[in-house]
Amino acid sequence: MKKGIHPAYQQVVFQDSSTGFKFISGSTKTSDETIKMDDGKTYPLIRVEISSDSHPFYTGKQKFNQVDGAVDRFNKKYGLSDKK
């Protein structure tokens, strides 16, 4: 790699603002805020709004807005029904 053109890569703590869940990951992101973790080390703290701990896709609390499938919408639109 060329010297001086890449940002510094370091271990940082990402904290989910809504649940308080924290995890350590490598990142080039920096922060003035720090946190001391269970391993005794101090890391820069990056607050995030959504993580795998709070996102509906990962928590299983996903809401489905579209209940009807394409065939059901077609039948509803053109007056066809399943009844014979």
**pTM passes above 0.75:** no
Render pLDDT for 11-55 as a digit per residue (tens, 0 to 9): 999 999 888 899 999 999 999 999 999 999 999 999 988 887 877
Locus of tokens 């499938």: 69
End-to-end CA distance of the chain: 71
Contact call for residues 74 and 80 (beta carbons, < 8 A): yes
Look at residue 7 and tell me whether its pLDDT is greater than 70: yes
pLDDT band at 68 (very low <50, low <70, confident <90, very high): low
Domain boundary assignment for the chain: 1-61
